[in-house]
């Protein structure tokens, strides 16, 4: 039984006629979609028989034309139904806003500050009780 490191395994797969990129095996290992491998310490090692089995899994049935392949492959879900699952609840909740503070209403009889008291004493208050509108 022969063990291959990632570079050797990549070259072996390419020799079998399967075009793969330089970083395919590390990415496929991360995704869990690549061939089986074992570790020797921290180094991943691939067996030739496992590489051959993985290649065979990825191949389609023998066909004579592309249209023949489409007839043999059955869709996994009916065409009228969506193939994607429905969306789940949102993962982030929106921040709840506090209600806006109610503005305080000025009462005409009670002065609000020292400035208002002086203004009312002088007859120049902001709130005038004059109905005629003639201010000072």
Question: Is 32 inside a domain boundary?
Answer: yes
Domain count within the chain: 1
d(CA 70, CA 88) in angstroms, rounded, equals 33
Question: Is 17 inside a domain boundary?
Answer: yes
Question: Is 35 inside a domain boundary?
Answer: yes
Q: CB of 37 within 8 A of CB of 51?
A: no
Q: What's the pLDDT score for residue 32?
A: 92
d(CA 132, CA 125) in angstroms, rounded, equals 15
Q: What's the pLDDT score for residue 135?
A: 53
With a CB cutoff of 8 Å and minimum separation 6, the contacts of 116 are 125, 126
Q: What's the pLDDT score for residue 120?
A: 58
Question: Is 96 inside a domain boundary?
Answer: no
Average pLDDT of the chain to the nearest whole number: 78
Q: CB of 34 within 8 A of CB of 54?
A: yes
List the domain range (segments joined by +) for residue 49: 3-58
pLDDT in tens, 21-58: 999 999 999 999 999 999 999 999 999 999 999 999 99
Question: Is 130 inside a domain boundary?
Answer: no
Q: What is the mean pLDDT of residues 121-126?
A: 58
Question: Is 29 inside a domain boundary?
Answer: yes
pLDDT in tens, 65-89: 888 877 765 555 555 665 677 777 7
- The band of 10, judged by pLDDT with boundaries at 50, 70 and 90, is very high
């Amino acid at each position: 039984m022969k063990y291959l490191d990632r570079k050797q395994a990549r070259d072996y797969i390419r020799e079998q006629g399967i075009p793969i990129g330089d970083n395919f095996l590390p990415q496929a290992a991360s995704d869990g979609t690549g061939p089986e491998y074992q570790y020797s310490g921290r180094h991943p090692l691939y067996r030739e028989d496992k590489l051959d089995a993985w290649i065979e899994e990825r191949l389609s049935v023998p066909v004579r034309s592309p249209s023949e392949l489409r007839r043999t492959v059955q869709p996994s879900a009916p065409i009228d139904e969506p193939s994607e699952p429905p969306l789940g609840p949102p993962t982030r909740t929106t921040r709840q806003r506090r209600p806006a503070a109610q503005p305080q209403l000025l009462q005409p009889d009670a002065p609000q500050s020292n400035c208002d008291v002086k203004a009312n004493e002088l007859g120049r208050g902001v709130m005038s009780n004059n109905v005629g509108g003639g201010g000072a």
